[in-house]
Amino acid sequence: MINIVAPSARPSPYLPDISGLARAGRTRLFCFHYAGGTASAFASWRDRLSPQIALLPVQLPGREYRVHDRRILAMDRLLEELVRDLRPMLDAPFALYGHSMGAMIAYAFARHLRDHGGPAPSALLLGACPPPDTTGRSAHAEIPDRAALVHWMRELGGVPDALLQYPEWLEASVALLRDDLVLASTYRPPPSGPLSCPVHVLAGARDPVLPPARAGEWAEHTTGPFTTHTVPGGHFFLREHPDELVHLVNNLLRQPFRA
């Protein structure tokens, strides 16, 4: 499980676990969870990551220990908070991994840092998320109604059948997911050109949201090294095949790429 640190000991409310900051000389890997998810989605990574990688899962407000924090519905505001809270921890080599909505946040965060004179990640890893289209529209621009949203969640494997027996929990999950999709849909990349850092795109072999054939569409968003990788599973391959995924992440962050 994620090691929850007392609020007074955290440098940021966005970080439930700061043990990754304790040892120097490691790449800091900031991980952004999917829509409707939590930082604990990366709990199993801690024992699988290379000792040279420090895991720093990012917790958005409105869930787990931040359940009473108001959820953020505008990407610009989220980016301002992330830069304010996380930039002091970008004084060592760092990489970003995001899954689905988290991939869009990681990409937007990297761009925001670049556009405001901040440091660049040594690598940007994007999982299960199509790129913004040529008009700048987010991959999550269309928000379905409640019934369609529940159906969509079940089709993607995001709602276990057991949850359907608990209407209050289901409604809470739907409300959280809807707010997260609103957050993702507000992002419009500024016209400041592509990134220059290495970008690696991970697509699930059975993912209808980002089929492997579409992963290469991210290439136009960086002038640096670019790779695509197909991993087993569907949209939530980080839950279905954590061993294969983290093995790939370890290998990608071992590569001597420079932003």
Determine how β-strand 53-58 pairs with β-strand 27-32: parallel
Distance of CA 11 to the CA centre of its chain: 20
**Cα–Cα dist 236/245, whole Å:** 11
Structure tokens, 120: 């660049």
Q: Is 151 a catalytic residue?
A: no
- Please state, in angstroms and rounded to a whole number, the distance separating the CA atoms of residues 5 and 135: 41
10 is written with which tokens?
Answer: 């955290």
Tokens representing 131 are 């790129």
CB 68 within 8 A of CB 134: no
Greatest Cα pair distance, the chain, in angstroms, is 50
Cα–Cα distance, 149 to 177 (Å, whole number): 9
**Helix 75-86 crosses helix 167-185 at what angle (to 10 degrees)?**
90
Q: Which of 99, 200, 235, 241 is catalytic?
A: 235
What is the rounded distance in angstroms from the CA atom of residue 218 to the CA atom of residue 176?
A: 27
Known active-site residue 33: no
The one catalytic residue among 12, 33, 100, 221: 100
Distances (CA, A) of 34 to 1, 105, 191: 18, 10, 25
Residue type, 217: E
Instruction: Please list the active-site residues.
Output: 100, 235
